[in-house]
Homo-oligomer: A and B are copies of this chain.
Amino acid sequence: MFSPRTIGHARTPYAKTSDIPKGLGAQHNAEGVLEILPELEPGLTDIEGFSHLIVLWVFDRSEGFDLLGTPPSDNRPHGVFATRSPRRPNPIALTIVELLRRDGPRLHVRGVDMLDGTPLLDIKPYLSNVPPEKLRRGWLAEAEARKKE
């Protein structure tokens, strides 16, 4: 196995977990900055052409994992691999952000949902969508439907 290394840090408006919008209908429109280590800046070459990025980061203030848990968006327990819970066997998180602009090693983005200072693991270009007519969203769609009743 590899040893994870930090490629940079997220600057976000969220100082504590309770600041982050959660649950059904939560909006993630907050702007933030992905500060990449200066020595890795050449790795950002041509990233400006992409409107959206996949950001992998570490749930660095979470410890241990639960195989079953009840997410903020439902009142029923689900398997950890069917949720975005931070308490996972590998505490790796994924966020899709919109790239607003690049300023050297700093990527200004919209859609951050991580705590300020969070260590980043990777950035990848977002390349394609799943065909909408094929997308099913399991318990989350059910919880949304129950909420509307």
Contacts and interface: CB of A to CB of B under 8 A. Distances in A.
Interface in A10-42: 36, 40, 42
Counting chain B CB atoms within 10 Å of each CB, the highest count among A46, A54, A129 belongs to A46
A90 B5 contact: yes
Secondary structure at the A interface, as helix, strand, loop or mixed, is: mixed
The oligomer's copy count stands at 2
A79 to B, nearest CB: 3
Interface residues of A, number: 61
Contacts of A82: 44-47, 49-50, 125
A105 to B, nearest CB: 11
Given A96-B130, A130-B96, A139 B46 contact: yes
Given A43-B67, A49-B82, A49-B141, 12 more contacts: A2-B91, A43-B79, A44-B79, A46-B79, A50-B137, A51-B130, A51-B134, A90-B121, A92-B121, A92-B122, A125-B137, A129-B132
Interface of A: 1-7, 36, 40, 42-52, 54, 56, 58, 67-68, 77-84, 88-92, 94, 96, 98, 119, 121-127, 129-130, 132, 134-142
